[in-house]
Amino acid sequence: MISQPLAITNARLVLPTGEPVRGTIRTEGDRITALGPDVTPQEGDRLFDARGQLVAPGLVDLGVFAVDKPAFHFGGITRAALMPDQGPPLDHPARVRFAAQSGKPGLWVHPLAAATRALEGNEIAEVALMRDAGAKAVSTGRGWISDSGTMLRLLRYCAMLGMVVVTHAEDAGITGSAVATASEMATRLGLPSAPAEAEALAVARDIALAEMAGARLHIRQVTTRAALDLVRAAKARGVAVTAGVTPAHFMLSDTALADFRTFLRLSPPLRQEADRRAVIAAIADGTIDVIASGHDPRGPEDKRLPFADAEPGMAGAETLLPMTLNLVRDGVIDTARAFALLAENPARLLGVAAGRLEAGLAADLAVIDADRPWIVNSDKMAASAGNTPFDRQPVQGRCTALFKGAAQVA
C-alpha cells in the first residue's frame, strides 16, 4: 500500500472518450482519486511532472506466454494475462495461485486457466477451483478444441461461472503442420501451408457453440477477412463475442516471409495483404476489441532453425504500444480508442478494476512520449529473447515512466 498520495502534473490525460485533456491526476493509496484540468496537488503529495506527455492507463496485455517484467515495463504494461501454456500447464489450482503471485510487486499477473487437462482438448479441467485460486478467464491455449461436444460443455460451464472463454481459432485438422498461409508467396517459398479458411471454420464453430451456450467468447486472434465478417455478424445479432489481434497481423503480410526469417514464424501465420487491410478496417469499425502483444520470447534453440522447423512466437511486449500508435498517426483510430484496445477492453474481459483513467480505479498509470523515435533492435531488447518481427524498424512512442498502484516501477 502506498501511503503518500501522488500527483502527476502537466499531463495530457487520456480519457475514455475524446482527445487528451491537459491537467493533473491524483492518487491516494493504490487508487485514482481525481483527475482533470481543475485538479491541483495537495500538501504532502509526491509530485511527478509529466512535461506535457500523455498519461494513460497502464496497458493490460491479454494473452502472454511468459512473465517478462523488464519487457512489460519497457512497453508500459502493468497487467499481463498469462496463457496456460506453461510447463506444466495451468490446469491445477496450485499452479494458478503460484502464477498469480509471480509478478509481484512490479506487475499484476492474471492467469488464464487451462480449459482442459494438460491442454489436450479432451477432459474439462477444474475451472471453478482455478477461478477461486485467481484465474481471470479460461483459455484453450495455443490450440483449438476440436471436439464440439467438449467445447459446448466448457462454454456452458463457464457461462454458469461467469467466466470468459479465450480460444485460439485454427482448425488443426486443416492446418496440420503448416507454417504459412496458402498463397502465391508460400508456393514460391516451398513452405508447408494451409488455407486461410481454417480460421473462419474454427471461428464459425465456436461462435455457434457460444450462442447455444449463452457464453462469453473471446477469440484471441482474428486475422482473416472471412473470420472478421463472422465476428461482425455475430455481434450484430447480440452474441457475446469479442475479438483480438496482435500488431504483426495489421502491420505485416506474408510478403515479409521472402527472406525466410524465423522471427516471422507466427501462429496464426501472416496472411495476405487483403486480410491485413481487413484487420485494419475491423479495428476502425469496432469489430476488433483488443490489441495484445502475444508476447512469446523464443531463444536461438527455437528460432535458429529452418523456417518450417522453428517454433512460432514473437517478443511483442516492447513494440505493442508504438505499433498501435501507428494506427493513431494514420488516422485509423483516435488516442482514446487506442487505449480502449490496449487497456480498457482487456481489463473489462478479465473483470479487473483497471484500464481507464477514472476515480476509484487502480492507479496503474503510464507516462508516454507518443512522438519519441527509436529503432527496434532484437539484440538490445529488454525481453528475455529478441525474436521480434519488427527488427531494425524505426518506430515512435515510448513509455517514459510507469506506475503500478501508484508505486513507480519504471
> SS3 letters for the chain?
CCCCCEEEEEEEECCCCCCCEEEEEEEECCEEEEEECCCCCCCCCEEEECCCCEEEECEEEEEECCCCHHHHHHCCEEEEEECCCCCCCCCCHHHHHHHHHCCCCCCEEEEEEECEHHHCCCCECCHHHHHHCCCCEEECCCCCCCCHHHHHHHHHHHHHHCCCEEECCCCHHHHCCCCEECCHHHHHHCCCEECCHHHHHHHHHHHHHHHHHCCCEEECCCCCHHHHHHHHHHHHCCCCEEEEECCHHHHCCHHHHHHCCHHHCCCCCCCCHHHHHHHHHHHHHCCCCEECCCECCCCHHHHCCCHHHCCCCECCCCCHHHHHHHHHHCCCCCHHHHHHHHHHHHHHHHCCCCCCCCCCCECCEEEEEEEEEEECCCCCCCCCCCCCCCCCCEEEEEEEEEEECCEECC
Q: Which three cell numbers stand for residue 119?
A: 491442454
What are the domain boundaries of the chain?
A: 59-354+385-393
- Region 72-99: mean pLDDT is 98
| pLDDT value for 176 | 95
State pLDDT tens for residues 226-245.
999 999 999 999 999 999 99
- Region 122-126: mean pLDDT is 97
| pLDDT value for 168 | 98
| pLDDT value for 250 | 98
Which amino acid belongs to residue 101?
Q
Q: Which three cell numbers stand for residue 147?
A: 471436439
> Residue 359 pLDDT more than 90?
yes
* Record: fold of 59-354+385-393: TIM Barrel (3.20.20)
State pLDDT tens for residues 91-111.
999 999 999 999 999 999 999
> Residue 297 pLDDT more than 80?
yes
Q: 336 near 18, Cβ under 8 Å?
A: yes
| pLDDT value for 364 | 98
> Residue 154 pLDDT more than 60?
yes
Q: What distance in Å separates the CA atoms of residue 374 and residue 398, rounded to the nearest whole number?
A: 8
Which amino acid belongs to residue 248?
A
Q: 357 near 57, Cβ under 8 Å?
A: yes
> Residue 1 pLDDT more than 60?
no
- Region 186-194: mean pLDDT is 97
> Residue 375 pLDDT more than 80?
yes
> Residue 308 pLDDT more than 60?
yes
- The residue with cell 519497457 is 74
- Region 280-298: mean pLDDT is 98
- Region 63-72: mean pLDDT is 98
| pLDDT value for 160 | 98
> Residue 343 pLDDT more than 90?
yes
- Region 270-286: mean pLDDT is 98
pLDDT level of residue 80 (50, 70, 90 thresholds): very high
Residue 251 CA: distances (Å) to CA of 64, 170, 313, 352, 377: 19, 21, 16, 29, 17
- Region 288-315: mean pLDDT is 97
pLDDT level of residue 2 (50, 70, 90 thresholds): low
State pLDDT tens for residues 15-55.
999 999 999 999 999 999 999 999 999 999 999 999 999 99
Q: What distance in Å separates the CA atoms of residue 24 and residue 296, rounded to the nearest whole number?
A: 36
Q: What distance in Å separates the CA atoms of residue 277 and residue 295, rounded to the nearest whole number?
A: 23
